[in-house]
Structure 1
């Protein structure tokens, strides 16, 4: 059956292929210039654009194909034929995401893409539903598939070659679009040369489903809107990218001016953090609270001193350690000083987890934000139990006799200096009794010093039972005692 071609529609089909290829190449460039989700968006847009360029060229070319019988197209097969073209194009764009060209990937990808393009073409031809079926020259059929594969490989090479040659993007895209448009059209019209339609054949497709005129309007108008919109989007995105690049360049200049200062500040901050970390690992107990006094963090020394682990202390308030020795007025004054001066230090009595009450030296400092608001409180404390014990021991050694625990000469004189003026003011009298033990030296020599010491302790206890609570019994040394009586 003779075939007549509409040369105008043939030219339109080639131009559509070139226009779609130009838009697809612009999408490919944007895909390779971007990363992440944006690159995926451009990959999908480019794949759909190139797939629609191949498909629309095919069907506009089919509209240029006339037989001496009425023909139409099965809408289901027509729409189904879009899928292989888009799938093949998406595969190509996925391969183009690789930074470097690999011959093995290029060959395999081009083969699969070419088969997909050929599948699209022959599925579209099947939409004619000719009876008897259309036959194809095997040699031409094979040649059309080869052309499709070569065209697919050529499209991939065009993208990689353009980046290597250093051509301007517009020139590169125009040359690539011409080559790809000719290759896509060449595959289609080569395949059409091998078409053989028997005389008397009938088109079985329902003409009411889709007519050549409607198809021409839909395909031509739709693809021009798609390609034009895609090209405008690509140009707009490239322009925005350039503006962003210029803005980034300006920002980089500002960054270069401040980089040294930022690095110095970072180094100083790192040093401060190291110092803070070392301080937090000190032998002093430490805790950090929020402005409301809720414990946020403690150090190992806190656990060692108090017995409370981090799990037990975090989320609690410092009242967890309250010993009960201090009044509410004491804590209220402490808090008022802390709020006013942003710090407090002093001696305080706390209670360990096991119930033991111990003295500690406590320092509390407020951490302030830039606006002066308190963000945290940092408390450090040390257990001064040993210091207090040493202090008490030193006091006892200074003012009490170590054998009898009676006041010694120094404490007796101190009390005398206080009592004499008081008696003079109040008009009362007092008395001093000097007592020593007869033959004490003989006892020491004959029975030993241990027995003598026992006697001195007994005498001290007996004297205390003989005086009032406000009186003083002191040991001057040896076997000499003094009793000071007040308010007589």
Structure 2
């Protein structure tokens, strides 16, 4: 018997919260990418933080959205090892893409390669997370819809990586992260639209629904803390405090023979600009 499947068991709460998490991860990742370009001597650290931010944002989006996943007449629970593995996959594949464009630039071949790898990895994270779902039934997927979700993931990943190397101002980054949030969340719900469940028995869903919610919230706690720490690092970074326009003006001044003392994060060091040890 095919069960009634819903992705909006708690109404608009879970999709809106999932979207906001996707936007937060993307915004932090873009700002970290900007820092990596401005500070080549700290590039690896900023790119790593950006990859972790985007990866945690995508993974958090997925499992917040999964809080609203409900199968009528079935108990839903998760395999912890596969759930954690999906987080590692999310961060790992995003890191591959971010480091590729961070060190090789935004050429078309680089973006195509990095975007494809990252997009396929994000899709793998999604379906690995779905493989962690256990219920008293069998999950089936509509192949054309799955393919569409993978295409959306690749396009979204490519656009995100392009933005990482092309968009540097604060407001442009916020706008780009909002669009990327739509794409990533859209990929999730497109993938979920392909799911159907064939029940092999019945269970008392209400008996363990609180346990399921507790498990998902516990799984989300770690990535949420990581996003909070990343947000604090980015917000208190001197570039953010100084502002984009002031940073560009200060960066041009030494090249134009300007007189005055450079800002602390621009004191010359071995022929390059330098930054305080806030990272």
Q: Do the two structures share a fold, i.e. TM-score over 0.5?
A: yes
- Assess if the C-alpha contact under 8 Å between 2:152 and 2:183 holds in 1: yes
Instruction: Determine helix, strand or coil for the equivalent of 1:81.
Output: helix
Report 1:419-430 matches (<5 A): none
Instruction: Determine helix, strand or coil for the equivalent of 1:101.
Output: coil
Deviation at 1:212, TM superposition (A): 2.6
- Assess if the C-alpha contact under 8 Å between 1:60 and 1:219 holds in 2: no
- Assess if the C-alpha contact under 8 Å between 2:18 and 2:60 holds in 1: yes
Instruction: Please tell me whether residue 65 in structure 1 is matched to residue 84 in structure 2.
Output: no
Separation (CA, whole Å) in 1 of partners of 2:34 and 2:238: 10
Using the size of structure 1 for normalisation, the TM-score is: 0.46
Residue 142 of structure 2: which of 137, 140, 147 is its match?
137
Deviation at 1:198, TM superposition (A): 0.4
Give the 3 Å change call, closer, same or farther, for CA 198–25 of structure 1 in structure 2: same
Q: 1:81 corresponds to which residue?
A: 86
Instruction: Determine helix, strand or coil for the equivalent of 1:197.
Output: strand
Separation (CA, whole Å) in 2 of partners of 1:138 and 1:173: 34
Deviation at 1:145, TM superposition (A): 0.7
Larger RCO, structure (CA 8 Å, separation 6 or more): 2
Give the 3 Å change call, closer, same or farther, for CA 102–116 of structure 1 in structure 2: same
Q: 1:55 corresponds to which residue?
A: 59
Give the 3 Å change call, closer, same or farther, for CA 248–108 of structure 1 in structure 2: closer
Using the size of structure 2 for normalisation, the TM-score is: 0.78
Give the 3 Å change call, closer, same or farther, for CA 240–58 of structure 1 in structure 2: closer
Give the 3 Å change call, closer, same or farther, for CA 77–202 of structure 1 in structure 2: farther
Q: Which has the higher strand share?
A: 1
Deviation at 1:221, TM superposition (A): 4.3
Flag structure 1 segments of 5+ consecutive residues without an equivalent. Answer: 164-168, 256-488
Report 1:314-353 matches (<5 A): none
Q: How many residues align?
A: 245
Give the 3 Å change call, closer, same or farther, for CA 81–247 of structure 1 in structure 2: closer
Give the 3 Å change call, closer, same or farther, for CA 99–235 of structure 1 in structure 2: farther
* Structure whose CA Rg is larger: 1
Q: 1:41 corresponds to which residue?
A: 45
Instruction: Determine helix, strand or coil for the equivalent of 1:109.
Output: helix
**CA deviation vs aligned residue, 1:8-33 (integer Å, no higher than 9, x gap):** 11211111111111111111111111
Flag structure 2 segments of 5+ consecutive residues without an equivalent. Answer: 262-279
Separation (CA, whole Å) in 2 of partners of 1:98 and 1:192: 35
Instruction: Determine helix, strand or coil for the equivalent of 1:135.
Output: strand
Deviation at 1:241, TM superposition (A): 8.6
Separation (CA, whole Å) in 2 of partners of 1:240 and 1:112: 31
- Assess if the C-alpha contact under 8 Å between 1:28 and 1:96 holds in 2: no
Instruction: Determine helix, strand or coil for the equivalent of 2:199.
Output: coil
Report 1:22-33 matches (<5 A): 22-33=27-38
Give the 3 Å change call, closer, same or farther, for CA 95–62 of structure 1 in structure 2: same
Give the 3 Å change call, closer, same or farther, for CA 112–61 of structure 1 in structure 2: same
Deviation at 1:242, TM superposition (A): 4.8
- Assess if the C-alpha contact under 8 Å between 1:15 and 1:181 holds in 2: yes
**CA deviation vs aligned residue, 1:292-317 (integer Å, no higher than 9, x gap):** xxxxxxxxxxxxxxxxxxxxxxxxxx
CA RMSD of aligned residues (A): 3.0
Q: Which has the higher helix share?
A: 2
Deviation at 1:104, TM superposition (A): 1.1
Give the 3 Å change call, closer, same or farther, for CA 238–89 of structure 1 in structure 2: farther
Separation (CA, whole Å) in 1 of partners of 2:260 and 2:20: 48
Instruction: Determine helix, strand or coil for the equivalent of 1:198.
Output: strand
Instruction: Please tell me whether residue 3 in structure 1 is matched to residue 5 in structure 2.
Output: yes
Instruction: Determine helix, strand or coil for the equivalent of 2:198.
Output: coil
